[in-house]
Structure 1
């Protein structure tokens, strides 16, 4: 297929679908670092004009990493529903965008088409959308999951209680968990990033958080975000795992650098179904982020948006309870400033939902990025408006172990109040019963962790 157009007297020609997709992307410092970005705004617009006329079948037939070279490509392509694909393969990318945004197109219709999409098809249509398009389309698509409670209902916003500690102090983490719960953070998950990845340390944290959940009969789940092999071993030894976690990548080469493979994740998923303590049926938790493959030298010359979309295609294989993009964590080398971070957050949320998975966001930045807490709050409002399923809750928005800036325990309640949103339904009922929530907002008991010590 000839990938060429003429714009204002200049002819632009793209040598491959991979090059076309890269140059149609919004400006990202990671793509510039990789030497694959558009050289001008005019070239970017020209790439989008060409991309809009490309049939979806061309994107499937030209993955950014070839089928015979990459197990992520194979896992996604082999899962395509061929009956639905035959119905849509002739759609042009521009027409696909119009169809998604049409008032006549419902969430159920989009979810059906999701079963015929590859990462390149998802990324392609995303590149043609404005930020408001991404908000509108993301809000339209609904994905509901269940572990110990229910994620994804309209009008809800969950919060991951993230009580990290630089030495994994059980007592320190317990106190932080209780503070977060007092603000209504933890309905998504009580999820700890451990400093110590050993089976013993991970097991201790799982046991402590499970005891809190049991003692207070909290409708939520726990997770310690160690490497998946550590969690599986802890689980097999009897540690109470609520959600099984792993970071994913969009190429086999990058997956190798994470110490995982499709086969290993297949086995981990089976172990979760066997040993995880919640009722399910969704037991997996994944994190991703644009630029991870480039940082691992596993990008294969592809742009970071395409590779991110492929992460979601792989995640779908395991019917996850939740997925979130840690959008600004990887640093300004990949997303330079708040504008690029905000765009990536909206892209990722939409792409996850279009793929058919539950999608949240760690709205964050590193201390050397051109961003501040107001930028985090701005993006949080945009994502909550777009129907984002959950955000992070960290004391003061400053993670003491990972040393990055994210959303605080206060932010989810503020968004709920500002936008008329609620905690996850079972968790809201629990908060109401114990006196932390009334008439759609926190009571005056909120924010005092000693509340949980007075029973």
Structure 2
């Protein structure tokens, strides 16, 4: 099927759904690289005009990636909930946007709707939204998950404490871990990107975090971000694994590039669930995604040509959703300027990812980050952080000083999150907040105060034994 729309006296033709979605996307360097971007602002407006009038049911009839060759498409179609879709079945994409923005559309309505929406539907709506729309709709969408802490509650902003080290040195990692905990970080997860994927190193890091957790009696969950096959082997050996991690993408070919299959994810989830290490819940999966991952793997082709990177990113959330995760985050500016060129594109992508994930019922966080060769800076990240916090983002990632010395990119610092929590009246996860109070890390107003170096709380003595 094709569509034609006229703007400024000129008619534009779009040769299929993937072409229409791509041309309707905001400007994005990755789509230019893939050869699917709109050639002008006028063509983009024409595509959005046609997209707004497209019935939602069309997305069920025309997959953007062939289900005969792609297990992600089959997963999307097989798990679509027709009953949940029924209240919006008669709407167009523009009509769905209006419904989502309506004042009487609340969190309960959006939660009930999530199983009836496909990734392509929510990606299409995102393309019609301004930044204020992305924030407003996401802010009233709630996805709550739990393991040892509860993540995603209203009025809360959790963090992943990321104590990476370029040589996986346990002393350096412990120093970063203590620094983060003293700043009230780590209630979403303590997550380490190991410098090496050697099983012995991964196990040692898992044991380091688990030992620290038990010494200070902190309600945190740990994760070493190794490949799922390594995790499966370590699960069989009895390693102290809380969460199973894996990077995933929106096509079967891209996931093949990550060396992962849906069957492997299912096997790992079942093995982790059997450990029953959670307290307030037992959601054991942690996924990372990012716009451009399919393109970078040359796995972005759909039915008739390339699929835009935002639509493929939304499809990755369908993979995540199928495994009932505790945490999902997009590493929004990590891949580089070939995919998101500058601060404006990173800002837009981060808000789109958060919006799409939450609408699909995924517990979304964001790594607010950029690489040093992108046209972006800390001011851009401050803008994205405050906007995401306003939009109800479940968690963000923090590293010492905002500079990840192992992965060589810029993220948020611990104090960045303390600042936005104070400005917007946000709090940590409730179980973690109670622990902070118990070790003297909250003042009478419930804030993490500046530390007195001569009087560190019981936390450090617990780790020093």
Question: Into which bin does the TM-score normalised by the smaller protein fall?
Answer: over 0.9
Q: Indicate the residue corresponding to 2:449 in structure 1.
A: 443
Normalising by the residue count of structure 1, what TM-score does the alignment of the two structures yield?
Answer: 0.98
| Kept after mapping to 2: 8 A contact 1:120/1:310 | yes
Change (3 A) 1:352 1:154: same
TM superposition shift of 1:278: 2.1
TM superposition shift of 1:372: 0.8
Partners of 1:449 and 1:133 lie apart in 2 by 46
Q: Indicate the residue corresponding to 1:291 in structure 2.
A: 292
Asked whether 1:427 is paired with 2:427, we answer no
Q: Any residues of structure 2 matched to 1:82-161 within 5 Å, and which?
A: 82-161=82-161
Q: Indicate the residue corresponding to 2:264 in structure 1.
A: 264
Partners of 1:450 and 1:400 lie apart in 2 by 26
SS of the aligned residue for 2:288 comes to: strand
- Give per-residue Cα distances to partners, 1:46-104, cap 9 Å, x unaligned: 00000000011112221210111100111121111122334433310000000000001
Partners of 1:190 and 1:225 lie apart in 2 by 10
Partners of 1:252 and 1:260 lie apart in 2 by 9
Q: Indicate the residue corresponding to 1:409 in structure 2.
A: 414
Change (3 A) 1:225 1:106: same
Partners of 2:455 and 2:186 lie apart in 1 by 14
TM superposition shift of 1:450: 5.7
Bigger mean CA deviation after superposition, 131-140 or 231-240: 231-240
Normalising by the residue count of structure 2, what TM-score does the alignment of the two structures yield?
Answer: 0.96
Bigger mean CA deviation after superposition, 427-436 or 226-235: 226-235
TM superposition shift of 1:276: 5.7
TM superposition shift of 1:449: 11
Partners of 1:85 and 1:393 lie apart in 2 by 37
Q: Any residues of structure 2 matched to 1:176-325 within 5 Å, and which?
A: 176-275=176-275, 277-279=277-279, 280-300=281-301, 301-325=306-330
Q: Indicate the residue corresponding to 2:342 in structure 1.
A: 337
Partners of 2:69 and 2:2 lie apart in 1 by 25
SS of the aligned residue for 1:69 comes to: coil
Change (3 A) 1:47 1:448: farther
SS of the aligned residue for 1:347 comes to: helix
- What is the number of residues matched between the two proteins? 455
Partners of 1:89 and 1:389 lie apart in 2 by 29
Partners of 2:454 and 2:197 lie apart in 1 by 31
| Kept after mapping to 2: 8 A contact 1:363/1:376 | yes
Partners of 1:285 and 1:106 lie apart in 2 by 27
Change (3 A) 1:111 1:446: farther
TM superposition shift of 1:242: 1.3
Change (3 A) 1:106 1:453: closer
Partners of 2:454 and 2:231 lie apart in 1 by 32
SS of the aligned residue for 1:410 comes to: helix
Q: Indicate the residue corresponding to 1:29 in structure 2.
A: 29
Q: Indicate the residue corresponding to 1:350 in structure 2.
A: 355
- Give per-residue Cα distances to partners, 1:86-126, cap 9 Å, x unaligned: 44333100000000000011111111111111111111111
Partners of 2:461 and 2:356 lie apart in 1 by 45
Partners of 1:447 and 1:74 lie apart in 2 by 56
Unaligned runs of 5+ in 2: none
TM superposition shift of 1:38: 0.2
- Give per-residue Cα distances to partners, 1:242-295, cap 9 Å, x unaligned: 111100100001010000011111111111211362233211110000000000
TM superposition shift of 1:432: 0.8
